[in-house]
């Protein structure tokens, strides 16, 4: 069975498929692509090597499991607790936005599990601080590898903090777990599922293991290079014998260092135990990295299934088909990203595609995210103006708005329970905002100022909860204005109200909308002349509004009045939000 790999995904050529599972077999004709056709018998989904639905506690969520290639019920081993291991950075260079995309998407999933489904998520993020790339980088620069890894690890977590990615519960480093890795390898050797060779390396015996190929269907490979020390072509290194000029550690097999795959397995097993709920990474890690992790752990723990659920994030692409990669020299650093776009923009960009899908990073896609941000911000600003009595409109359809809010809540939770479908969830929010805007734009039918703000407060509260607490995309609220007012002893709100009122009077005068101008009987020519004379005042009003907006204070003009709100850029609000984020973050 021949195979080719493209963009980290396994694409298999058209050949007949035959899989045997005891008394069960699956076959397809020659015109079918070689894919896995999973099906359920009792509590076992059969893929290439089988996946078992774990006994446990149903979360009410279905999730796409890469091990079975379909959505399955998410069950945790312990009630209310989900253990999660995520492949972390190899700290030899700066993270780029392709990395950031995956970590932000997984952060959103983690927040959904925590905030929407009340799960206590224990997350490990493995830090690879010894690796071929790290060694080459250190040799090229003529420095100790530890200086490189320390610098780039600190930079990575600083970048993630900027993007509001919550810190992992624990972030173990490979170099701090060498004894555990050696002990892990020794036990696999004892079970005769690994073997040492003459150069001090140790290899996992995929043939002796017998269950290799759980994550993807694999063709048989029999050819081995003549100088290879491996028994089988698919065997992979658990321990690498030392080479001249490389860092090393003592081991029963001589000086050397861990192989890449064993690092995650040993650290996750040491901290989380013999079985974990969830494992994540980029789609390029599906094979061979995650395949090898599962094989090693099943061998070590003598089990059929180590990780119950595998989830993978799609790649970020530029120029259509081109994956963002350091080897292609087309990367954009997190710092470069944030020079062009806000954190809110990038997080919403991540939200607008399903976590499993390939994502195109283009000016158009970022412009779409920014347009959505402006739409939400404009609605909230109008809604708070209505709540504060600054915006006059016709009577709201309270019953219709309450019904739409209830429908939105249900649709959002249902969408997120269906493999974390943030796209459908966000569409539901936009529908709610569209109805809210329609109601706020109705013209008053009389001079009465009677109104009911309760439903609009509920809608704003829900939008803030979902966008900020769950998705960590922040918007100004009445609480921001209130907090600024309290910090200034109540003076700021009073000052802003007076400033906005004065600006509104000047603007009305410039537009001939003030009381005296309205009463004057003027010809068309006289009105045109007066507007020209007063045009500088209108320009000053616009310039003043722009200057305030730069520091995060937004003024919006309505028919017959103006309102103000707090937006992005206010230093006091940023401090408040940063403190709030930090209080919700568990640092390693």
Tokens of 515: 């009381």
Across the chain, mean pLDDT equals 84
Residue 496 has pLDDT above 90, yes or no: no
With CA atoms as reference, report the closest residue to 317 among 356, 353, 362.
Answer: 362
Q: pLDDT tens digits, residue range 291-342?
A: 999 999 999 999 999 999 999 999 999 866 566 666 666 789 999 999 999 9
Instruction: Give the residue-averaged pLDDT of 282-290.
Output: 95
The CATH 3.40.50.620 portion of the chain extends over 77-176+314-361
CA distance 76 to 57: 5
Q: Which residues contact 476 (CB under 8 A, 6 or more apart)?
A: 377, 380, 381, 552, 554, 565, 566, 567, 568, 573
Task: Please give the CATH number for the structural domain made up of 365-475.
Answer: 1.10.730
Tokens of 404: 């739409």
Proportion of the chain above pLDDT 70, given as a percent: 81
Residue 6 has pLDDT above 60, yes or no: no
The CATH 1.10.730 portion of the chain extends over 365-475
Proportion of the chain above pLDDT 90, given as a percent: 63
pLDDT of residue 336: 94
CA distance 408 to 460: 13
Of residues 367 and 575, the one with the higher pLDDT is 367
Least confident of 58-72, 108-122, 238-252, 541-555: 541-555
Q: Can you give 333-389 as a three-state secondary structure string?
A: EHHHHHHHCCHHHHHHHHHCCCCCCCEECCHHHHHHHHHHHHHHHHHHHHHHHHHCC
Integer CA distances (angstroms), 269 to 173, 275, 390, 494, in order: 14, 8, 59, 59
**Strands 120-128 and 81-90, sheet pairing:** parallel
Least confident of 161-175, 185-199, 232-246, 473-487: 473-487
Least confident of 185-199, 378-392, 406-420: 378-392
Residue 177 has pLDDT above 80, yes or no: yes
Instruction: Give the residue-averaged pLDDT of 177-189.
Output: 98
pLDDT of residue 123: 98
Four-way CATH pick for 77-176+314-361: 3.40.50.720, 3.40.50.620, 3.40.50.280, 3.40.640.10 = 3.40.50.620
Q: pLDDT tens digits, residue range 205-230?
A: 999 999 999 988 888 777 888 889 99
Integer CA distances (angstroms), 261 to 186, 265, 294, in order: 15, 7, 10
With CA atoms as reference, report the closest residue to 564 among 426, 381, 394, 435.
Answer: 381
In degrees, to the nearest 5, what angle opens at C-alpha 114 toward C-alphas 482 and 583? 45
422-440 vs 343-351: helix crossing angle, rounded to 10: 110
Residue 394 has pLDDT above 90, yes or no: no
CA distance 479 to 404: 24
pLDDT of residue 490: 53
pLDDT of residue 316: 93
**Strands 316-318 and 359-360, sheet pairing:** parallel
User: What count of other Cβ atoms lies within 10 Å of the Cβ of residue 56?
Assistant: 15
Q: Is this prediction's pTM over 0.75?
A: yes
Q: How many residues does the chain have?
A: 588
CA distance 538 to 506: 8
pLDDT of residue 515: 65
Q: pLDDT tens digits, residue range 511-531?
A: 888 767 666 778 888 888 888
Least confident of 176-190, 359-373, 441-455, 494-508: 441-455
Instruction: Give the residue-averaged pLDDT of 389-402.
Output: 88
Tokens of 524: 């068309």
* DSSP classification of residue 175: G
Residue 5 has pLDDT above 50, yes or no: no
């Amino acid at each position: 069975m021949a195979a080719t790999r493209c963009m980290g995904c396994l694409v298999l050529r058209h050949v007949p498929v035959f899989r045997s599972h005891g008394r069960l077999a699956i076959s397809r004709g020659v015109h079918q692509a070689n894919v896995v056709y999973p099906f359920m018998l009792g509590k076992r989904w059969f893929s290439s090597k089988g996946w078992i639905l774990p006994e446990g506690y149903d979360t009410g969520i279905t999730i796409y499991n890469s091990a079975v290639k379909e959505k399955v019920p998410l069950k945790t081993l312990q009630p209310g607790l989900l253990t999660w291991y995520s492949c972390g950075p190899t700290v030899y260079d700066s993270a780029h936005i392709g990395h950031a995309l995956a970590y932000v998407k997984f952060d959103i999933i983690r927040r959904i599990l925590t905030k929407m489904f009340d799960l206590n998520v224990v997350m490990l993020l493995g830090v690879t601080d010894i690796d071929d790339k790290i060694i080459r980088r250190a040799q090229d620069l003529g420095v100790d590898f530890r200086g490189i890894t320390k610098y780039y690890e600190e930079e990575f977590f600083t970048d993630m903090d900027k993007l509001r990615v919550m810190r992992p519960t624990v972030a173990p480093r490979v170099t701090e777990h060498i004894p555990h890795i050696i002990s892990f390898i020794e036990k696999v050797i004892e079970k005769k599922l690994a073997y040492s060779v003459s150069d001090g390396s140790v290899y996992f015996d995929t043939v002796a293991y017998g269950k290799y190929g759980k994550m993807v269907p694999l063709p048989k490979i029999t050819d081995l290079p003549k100088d290879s020390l491996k028994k089988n072509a698919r065997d992979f290194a658990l321990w690498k014998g030392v080479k001249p000029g490389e860092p090393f550690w003592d081991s029963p097999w001589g000086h050397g260092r861990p192989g890449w795959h064993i690092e995650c397995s040993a650290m996750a097993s040491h901290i989380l135990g013999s079985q974990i709920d969830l494992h994540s990474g980029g789609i390029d890690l599906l094979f061979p990295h995650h395949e090898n992790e599962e094989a090693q752990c099943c061998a070590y723990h003598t089990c059929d299934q180590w990780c119950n659920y595998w989830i993978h994030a799609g790649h970020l692409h530029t120029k259509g088909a081109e994956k963002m990669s350091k080897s292609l020299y087309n990367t954009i650093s997190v710092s470069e990203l944030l020079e062009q776009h806000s954190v809110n923009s990038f997080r919403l960009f991540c939200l607008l595609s399903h976590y499993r899908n390939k994502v195109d990073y283009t000016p158009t896609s970022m412009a779409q995210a920014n347009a959505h941000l402006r739409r939400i911000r404009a609605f909230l600003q109008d809604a708070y103006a209505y709540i504060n009595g600054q915006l006059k409109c016709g009577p709201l359809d309270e019953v219709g708005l309450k019904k739409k809010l209830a429908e939105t809540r249900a649709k959002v939770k249902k969408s997120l329970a269906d493999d974390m479908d943030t796209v459908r969830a966000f569409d539901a929010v936009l529908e709610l905002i569209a109805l809210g805007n329609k109601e706020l734009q109705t013209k008053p039918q009389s001079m009465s100022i009677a109104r009911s703000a309760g439903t609009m407060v509920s809608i704003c509260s829900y939008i803030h909860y979902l966008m900020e607490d769950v998705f960590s995309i922040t918007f100004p609220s009445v609480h921001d204005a209130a907090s600024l007012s309290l910090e200034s002893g109540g003076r700021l709100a009073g000052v802003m109200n007076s400033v906005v009122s004065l600006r509104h009077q000047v603007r009305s005068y410039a537009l001939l909308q003030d009381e005296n101008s309205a009463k004057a009987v003027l010809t068309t020519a006289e009105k045109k002349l007066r507007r020209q004379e007063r045009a500088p005042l209108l320009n000053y009003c616009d310039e003043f509004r722009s200057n305030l907006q730069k520091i995060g204070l937004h003024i919006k003009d309505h028919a017959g009045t103006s309102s103000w709100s707090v937006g992005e850029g206010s230093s006091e609000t940023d401090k408040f939000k940063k403190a709030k984020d930090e209080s919700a973050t568990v640092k390693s």
